[in-house]
Structure 1
């Protein structure tokens, strides 16, 4: 009877990790650069520079840039490159108006706030304070946005949650730009977030809604007051 050959031993580390597709890598590289302002509004990006930076050919670069153009972050110019679009005054007004409508409603719906929500908001505030100390504006903007999104999510309206998620990139970009222009605003954001949390903890829906509206109104005034790129 012929012997059965032993199977080759396998190891978990035998296969290298698979990289994402080249176009996805370019997309993430450029998008993150726009959101954290490494690529400011008015910057002209060329296919050659991006291909070299990411280590890919020009074909996936074109694919990624087309995708970013449809998201409103870039405008393509044939044979020249892609221009990073500044944030317009109309976009600022539209985003803040939408946020006020969604966040005032959802913060009221979040009262009485469950212990899990209050604990999560405390964690996010603690992370924001750490980023204030380290001066990491991009990381602070992410935690800032997560603080508000957590309240929206706990209101339990899935349609509003999805609508709010669509604002994510615009919120992050505006937030980083605002903090670059007004460094003192970072600590003030923490104070205003604390006021929102305390109103939720007290079960005061009116105070929570007023704190959200005041917070977003101050943000709009400051962003409108300067050129956002």
Structure 2
């Protein structure tokens, strides 16, 4: 291990955390010197961290100018949220198939919106609760492969979620929607939980400024034979 490795890891973790939670927003130009000063390091470990983050798609490096935080594009946001919703709905359907008793038990295990109320529903707290809530919901579906895939999706999802909880009142809205989903699951009402979950994830599109009729689940017209109709 090279002497700079521990400090490079520290710089990497520092910058990555701020990229994921939105403290370094899309379009911002970061300087090696600025980040190094924040951490009390030399430029070298920060440069190594920037190179790793460029390889992961978070940064775009410009020699002698700095590192541009790559914004989340509308297409990326839509694709990530669509994948997330499909996974969560599958897990919810699997849970509902086990019956009302399993749904009640799962609802009791979900993080409660009230747990964050005393923290004034801050965006950071709402983001932490959102990750715990949705991850627990997918785990309740009982498919460990799906749960692992969902966890891997969160590094992309968290930047989108951070943007969606940053506006006035959005953090509180997010927590309130969690509470409604939880109550539908507790009541054993699978269709209501499904509808609320779909609205909840779809609302992120509006919160981050994706309007114009974008939907996560495209409507399907079914033929009389029970097959998707050609359009």
TM-score norm. by structure 1 comes to: 0.80
SS in 1 for 2:209: helix
Matches within 5 A, 1:56-205: 56-111=41-96, 112=99, 113=102, 117-121=106-110, 123-131=111-119, 133=120, 135-181=121-167, 183-205=168-190
CA–CA distance in structure 2, aligned partners of residues 69 and 116 of structure 1: 43
Q: Deviations over 1:17-71 (max 9, x none)?
A: xxx9111111111112222332221111111222221122222212211221222
- Contact between 1:142 and 1:172, CA under 8 Å: does it hold in 2? no
Q: Flag structure 1 segments of 5+ consecutive residues without an equivalent.
A: 1-19
1:53 is the counterpart of 2:38: yes
The two structures, once aligned, show a CA RMSD in angstroms of 2.1
Superposed displacement of residue 116, structure 1: 5.4
Residues 136 and 65 (structure 1 numbering): CA distance in 2 closer, same or farther, change over 3 Å?
same
The count of corresponding residues between Structure 1 and Structure 2 is: 203
Higher relative contact order (CA 8 A, sep 6+): 1
Superposed displacement of residue 115, structure 1: 5.9
Q: Deviations over 1:51-95 (max 9, x none)?
A: 221122222212211221222211112222211111110111111
- Contact between 2:126 and 2:174, CA under 8 Å: does it hold in 1? no
Superposed displacement of residue 106, structure 1: 0.6
1:40 is the counterpart of 2:44: no
Matches within 5 A, 1:201-220: 201-220=186-205
- Contact between 2:74 and 2:210, CA under 8 Å: does it hold in 1? no
SS in 1 for 2:23: coil
CA–CA distance in structure 1, aligned partners of residues 132 and 24 of structure 2: 23
CA–CA distance in structure 2, aligned partners of residues 163 and 25 of structure 1: 26
Which one has a bigger Cα radius of gyration? 1
Q: Flag structure 2 segments of 5+ consecutive residues without an equivalent.
A: 212-231
CA–CA distance in structure 1, aligned partners of residues 90 and 60 of structure 2: 35
